[in-house]
Amino acid sequence: MKDNFEALKKEYKNIPVPENLNDVINRGINNYRKEKKRMKNKKIFKSIIAASLLILSSFTIGVNTSESFAMTAEKIPGVSVLVKLVSFESFKIEDEVVNANVNIPAVEGFESETVEEQINQEIQEKMNMHLEEGKLKAKENKEAFIETGGKEEDYRPMIIEIDYSLKSSIDNQISFAVHYFESMASSYSKTYYYTIDLEEDKLLTLKDLLGKNYEDKINQQITEVLEESPSEYFQGEMGFKGISENQNFYINDANQIVVVFDKYEIAPGSSGEPEFIIEE
C-alpha cells in the first residue's frame, strides 16, 4: 500500500491476460453445467461464485484494473455475478492538504439483503470516518506548520490510501480485508477483516469456527508462540493479555484461521501487524 498508487495502476493495466484464460474459464463453465444437471441447489451456485472470485484474484484484475477482462467477463455466466459480489468505489482527492487514493469494496448479490447492507454500511462508515479524520488532521498539521514559520511551498500533503485485498475464496466462504493507511511525518494504518459464509449469508466469528472455548484455545496457542520469541513482543503491562471480544482474523488460502493484531498492539511497530495461525 505504501507504493506509489499511479505506478501500481500503470502496472495493473499492463498485466497481460493469459492466452489460455478463456479456455480455463470455459472448462469451468462446462463442468458447472454438467454438475448443475446432477445437483441444482444453492450450494453449487455459491461454490461457483467463490471459484469465480478466486479466478479474479489469481490474475490481480477486476472491473477497474483490466478493461479486456471486464468486457470478457460480462459474457461469461458466473463471472458477471462475481463482479457484483465484491465491487468497489474508486476516487481520488488532491488538494493542498491531502492526496488520497480510495478504493472501497462492497458485497452484492446475497440472498440476505440485511447482511449485505450491514457489511457495506459498516465498511463505508469506517472508511469515511478515517478519511474525514485524516483530512482534519492534515489541515491542523498544515496550520501548525505555517504558524511555526514553515513556508507554504514547502508543505507536503498527507498521503492517504484506502484499498482492499482478497485473503481467500475456499469452499463456500470468502475472506477479505479493507485497509486504511496515512503517511506524513509519521504513518498510521488500520485494517478490518471480513469472513463470510456464502451458503448461510452471514459474517463468521471465531466462535463459529472454533466453538465456545475459542478464546482459551487461541490464547494458549498465541502464548506458546510468544514464549518462543519473547524479545520480539512487548512484555509486562504492554504485553499480550488475551484476544479481544472482536478480535481481527481471516482465513488464508490454506483454509487456516489467522488471528491478526494491530500495529503496536502487542509488538513494536517494526513488526507490522503480527499474525498467528491457529490450529483447530
- Model pLDDT for residues 76-90, shown as the tens digit of each residue: 333 333 324 455 688
Question: What is the average pLDDT across 112-141?
Answer: 92
Q: Which of the four pLDDT bands, split at 50, 70 and 90, describes residue 109?
A: confident
By the 8 A CB rule, do 39 and 63 touch?
no
What is the spatial distance between Cα 206 and Cα 130, in angstroms, rounded to a whole number? 26
Q: Percentage of the chain with pLDDT > 90?
A: 54
C-alpha grid cell, residue 91 = 476516487
C-alpha grid cell, residue 12 = 495493473
Going by C-alpha positions, the residue among 94, 116, 92 that lies closest to residue 105 is 116
Domain ranges of the chain: 5-204, 205-280
pLDDT for res 169: 85
Q: Does residue 217 register a pLDDT over 80?
A: yes
Instruction: List pLDDT tens digits, range 181-196.
Output: 999 888 999 999 999 9
C-alpha grid cell, residue 45 = 451456485
**CATH top-level class of 5-204:** alpha beta
User: Rounded mean pLDDT of the chain?
Assistant: 78
CATH 3.40.50.300 for the 205-280 domain, yes or no = no
pLDDT for res 6: 52
The set of residues, in sequence order, having a beta carbon less than 8 Å from that of 250 and lying 6+ positions away, is 167, 168, 175, 176, 177, 193, 195, 258, 260
Q: Which of the four pLDDT bands, split at 50, 70 and 90, describes residue 100?
A: very high
Q: Does residue 62 register a pLDDT over 50?
A: no
Question: What is the average pLDDT across 153-158?
Answer: 94
Question: What is the average pLDDT across 18-39?
Answer: 48
